Structure 1
Amino acid sequence: MLKPILFLLSFLAVTPAIAQAGNGITIGHTDSVFSKTLNEPRKLWIYVPESNNKDARSPVLYLLDGDDLFLTAASIVSHLGESNSNSVIPDMIIVGIGNTDRTRDLTPTHDPEHKTSGGAEKFTTFIEKELIPYVDNHYPTVPHRVLTGHSFAGLFVMNTVSNHPTLFNSYLALDPSVWWNKMQPLKQIQANIGRQNFGGQKLFIGLSNLNDTAAARKDTTNATIATRSHLGVRDVFQHTSNKSVNFRYKYFPDETHGTLPMPGIYDGLKAIFDFYKRPSFSRIGERGFNADSLLNAHYTNVSKQMGYTILPPESLVSGLAWLCSMRNMPKEQLQYYKLNLTNYPKSVQAHLQLGEYYEQINDKKAAIDYYTKALALQEDRELRNYIKELKGK
């Protein structure tokens, strides 16, 4: 029985998204798109999660200040995602957007002290009309998008929430610079919040420890304008009667403005995808515990929240089958192996596991059938020889 297990391990070997390339480490790659709206090329930093499922598609995290924050975001997404078996958030494609004129692109209004400022709406047009279609045409995406930004980029996120709320499914703003231009962005948010239909979109705001908040509320100087504006935008969403936006907020007392992105993105993604984490199936086989019901209920809810059908991951269902085998539940074990084959008919792993199952119960004909189908999906000389060996027994 050792050989089929070795075949399975060899078929499951996948090049990780963070992989070695020669003497270096490859985390992603760069791309670029020429924008007619901006009349310039824009560099992109791309991370695509690896998967055993060749047909896998993923939601997209659009990351402003991509030239600075790409490594931070890639490490977080890789750590929390399905591919790392933590399954706290879905595996995600990251599109880091590089800067050419940060003040121009990320500020929504013109400030005479910054001559190129005020181009956020034009930059939004680029993202909506050019970047998103390009990404959808060149990468394996699904229609679920998250926009993330820090500081000026957080201001851009808040402007998008205020004026284009349904462009993204979720928003993550860290220390958003809503103090900009005498707090005009904050005033616009206050004016828009009551009349916008946010369509159930999620918004996470993370704030660092810039000043003593109690003292800042009483102050009127520019020394505390950032803190007062941050508290103001938090108050707007906490106290609005508009329930069409799902708002979460977290204060990070131990973080400065500069250190906020790492814990902010980490906690923000966990908050946005708080429905995604897998339930525990450790009680499988115990009286009163219905693993099938829990599995179906969880992925029905996840599919509803994400806006498209999400099947139970092949690795999870294989794990349930293994638990059943350890607890002398062969009927249920077979049921989970067949569920994987139904959901992932092109999976080599699903065919190999069924072949091994039938070989264990001495159904050689069925074992050979599934091993042969696995071979048709992916050639392997050792497996071919093993099938011949089984036929000769």
Structure 2
Amino acid sequence: MKKVLIVLLLAAQGALAQKGPVVSFGHVDTLHSNILGEDRRLLIYEPPHDTAYFSKPAYPVLYLLDGDGYFAVVTTLLQQLSYINDNKACPEMIVVGITNTDRNRDLAPVPDSRLPHSGGGAAFLRFMQEELIPYIDQHYATAPYRVLAGHSLGGLTVLNALVHAPQAFQGYIATEPSVFCGNEWLLHTLRDTALHLQQHDLYLGVANTLYAGMDTAQAKKDTSLYTYHFRAILAFRDYLKQHPESGLQWAWHYYPDDNHSTSATISLYDGLRFIFRDNPWPHQLPVPLFQDTTLSNDALRTMLTTHFTKLAAHRGYPVKPSEPLINQMAYTCLQMGMPERAKMFFQLNIDYYPESFNVYDGMGDYYMAVQDKAHAKAYWKKALSLKFTDEINKKLQAAQ
């Protein structure tokens, strides 16, 4: 497994203006594909996490087509949506940017005379299913929830995966998909395919590629080549409308002020917000409601556990609150003179992360704060049985 750091260097006229720390977006990994007969370069982002104190979590994975172009903006976007400024609009995620070697070959599912080398989409889909996903699951801390995102031909690949490999991904973001490719091959295959897409989510972003002054209703009636791309996407949308029995949860949005190119970023943002629409904590938690004494500790705990139970039902695997965040909330309550609320949060962390030494250390600190030395020592001993640290050992010895 080859890894190289991806960095952003602030440069002026081709040279560094000032030496200093680099800004890292992630690293480069390389996977050899037997199916495609070549090495594939992957851009990898992993959320920052302090494993010296906390359990290493498993993360959902966003697989990003045309990774060369979108990796930096998507990783930054996910940081903003998942933890910066206490955001919880999306979960923290691993990002796998799949860079291109022969874009037309990989992303066009069938030959198209307008696209040289096109038609290798089936092999590329096999590569993702049989080689890429198993490799990522083996080498990174992944949860069993995957999102595939793509634009233009990448968007077509997203829809192709939805129809022909729905077991590979659970979330899909298709922006401006080239549904016209291969004389609307995808639309023709839908007529012979029964879709069963329960617990799958699709976001479809459509840009304004019409004549000036033309609205969508006029475009659907138009027969010119200029509107062919737009009409083919709407035909796919209409198919979804006509087949609610598929069980697919989906949404679409028309961006009248964006063209084919500019729609990519805003559609990725909206797509992530749609797929993870249930992710935000209830009632703007954790700030400021976790400090609200009008809400009982039991009611607050029930609100939180119910929220994560619903997320687990939607995604199909156990979803937990962040151990560091719950830990932070517990210590904040302790410092604010709310010891029983702090105890509730410490216990919540113990219930969700029973194998973590840190959660027992925290409960020991709670008991020491309320002058219950016997229970404090018991919890610190439990923490030390899982992982020895000088810090906890010194607290235990001082309490003897």
TM-score band by shorter chain is: 0.7 to 0.9
Counterpart in 2 of 1:340? 349
Task: Measure how far apart 1:369 and its partner are.
Answer: 4.7
Deviations, residues 89-119 of structure 1 (Å, cap 9, x unaligned) = 2211111111111001111111234341111
Counterpart in 2 of 1:296? 305
Distance 1:364 1:206 in 2: 59
Task: Measure how far apart 1:355 and its partner are.
Answer: 3.0
Distance 1:84 1:237 in 2: 37
Q: CA RMSD in A?
A: 3.0
Counterpart in 2 of 1:61? 62
Query: Secondary structure at 1:255's aligned position in 2?
Result: coil
Q: 1:166·1:201 contact (CA, 8 Å) conserved in 2?
A: no
Equivalences for residues 251-290 of structure 1 within 5 A: 251-280=254-283, 281=285, 282=289, 284-286=292-294, 290=299
Letter in 2 for 1:157: V
Going from structure 1 to structure 2, the CA distance change for 1:375 and 1:254 (only over 3 Å counts) comes to farther
Q: 1:63·1:147 contact (CA, 8 Å) conserved in 2?
A: yes
Query: Secondary structure at 2:254's aligned position in 1?
Result: strand
Distance 1:208 1:109 in 2: 24
2:365 is the alignment partner of 1:362:
no
**Once structures 1 and 2 are overlaid, which stretch shifts more, 238-247 or 34-43?**
238-247
**Once structures 1 and 2 are overlaid, which stretch shifts more, 329-338 or 168-177?**
329-338
Letter in 1 for 2:201: K
Equivalences for residues 1-393 of structure 1 within 5 A: 23-52=21-50, 53-82=54-83, 85-189=86-190, 191-192=191-192, 195-211=194-210, 212=214, 213-280=216-283, 281=285, 282=289, 284-286=292-294, 290-318=299-327, 321=330, 325=334, 330-347=339-356, 349-371=358-380, 388-391=397-400
Tell me how many residue pairs correspond in the alignment: 373
Deviations, residues 20-55 of structure 1 (Å, cap 9, x unaligned) = 996211111001111111111111001111224333
Distance 1:158 1:59 in 2: 20
Query: Secondary structure at 2:260's aligned position in 1?
Result: coil
Task: Measure how far apart 1:208 and its partner are.
Answer: 1.5
**Once structures 1 and 2 are overlaid, which stretch shifts more, 322-331 or 51-60?**
322-331
Task: Measure how far apart 1:352 and its partner are.
Answer: 3.8
Letter in 1 for 2:270: D
Task: Measure how far apart 1:219 and its partner are.
Answer: 1.9
Letter in 1 for 2:145: H
Query: Secondary structure at 2:39's aligned position in 1?
Result: strand
**Once structures 1 and 2 are overlaid, which stretch shifts more, 52-61 or 347-356?**
347-356
Deviations, residues 316-372 of structure 1 (Å, cap 9, x unaligned) = 534654676588654443232122123224545423432332222222344355456
Distance 1:249 1:48 in 2: 29
Distance 2:394 2:131 in 1: 51
Counterpart in 1 of 2:16? none
Letter in 1 for 2:25: I
Query: Secondary structure at 1:38's aligned position in 2?
Result: coil
Q: 2:107·2:120 contact (CA, 8 Å) conserved in 1?
A: yes
TM-score (norm 1): 0.85
Q: 1:18·1:28 contact (CA, 8 Å) conserved in 2?
A: yes
Going from structure 1 to structure 2, the CA distance change for 1:259 and 1:56 (only over 3 Å counts) comes to same
Going from structure 1 to structure 2, the CA distance change for 1:241 and 1:367 (only over 3 Å counts) comes to closer
Going from structure 1 to structure 2, the CA distance change for 1:112 and 1:210 (only over 3 Å counts) comes to closer
Task: Measure how far apart 1:84 and its partner are.
Answer: 6.3
Going from structure 1 to structure 2, the CA distance change for 1:304 and 1:230 (only over 3 Å counts) comes to same
Distance 2:24 2:192 in 1: 43
Letter in 2 for 1:362: Q
Going from structure 1 to structure 2, the CA distance change for 1:115 and 1:330 (only over 3 Å counts) comes to closer
Going from structure 1 to structure 2, the CA distance change for 1:84 and 1:352 (only over 3 Å counts) comes to farther
Deviations, residues 39-88 of structure 1 (Å, cap 9, x unaligned) = 11111001111224333111111111111111111112222125763122
Task: Measure how far apart 1:174 and its partner are.
Answer: 0.3
Deviations, residues 181-237 of structure 1 (Å, cap 9, x unaligned) = 333333333x146x2222331111011122232332232111111221222222221
Going from structure 1 to structure 2, the CA distance change for 1:340 and 1:312 (only over 3 Å counts) comes to same
Distance 1:333 1:294 in 2: 16
**Once structures 1 and 2 are overlaid, which stretch shifts more, 122-131 or 73-82?**
73-82
Query: Secondary structure at 2:43's aligned position in 1?
Result: strand
Q: 1:166·1:199 contact (CA, 8 Å) conserved in 2?
A: no
Structure 2 residues without counterparts, runs of 5 or longer: 1-5, 10-18
Distance 2:319 2:20 in 1: 36
Distance 2:45 2:261 in 1: 23
Q: 1:320·1:336 contact (CA, 8 Å) conserved in 2?
A: yes
Task: Measure how far apart 1:164 and its partner are.
Answer: 2.0
**Once structures 1 and 2 are overlaid, which stretch shifts more, 243-252 or 172-181?**
243-252
Q: 1:355·1:371 contact (CA, 8 Å) conserved in 2?
A: yes
Letter in 1 for 2:166: P
Q: Percentage identity across aligned positions?
A: 34
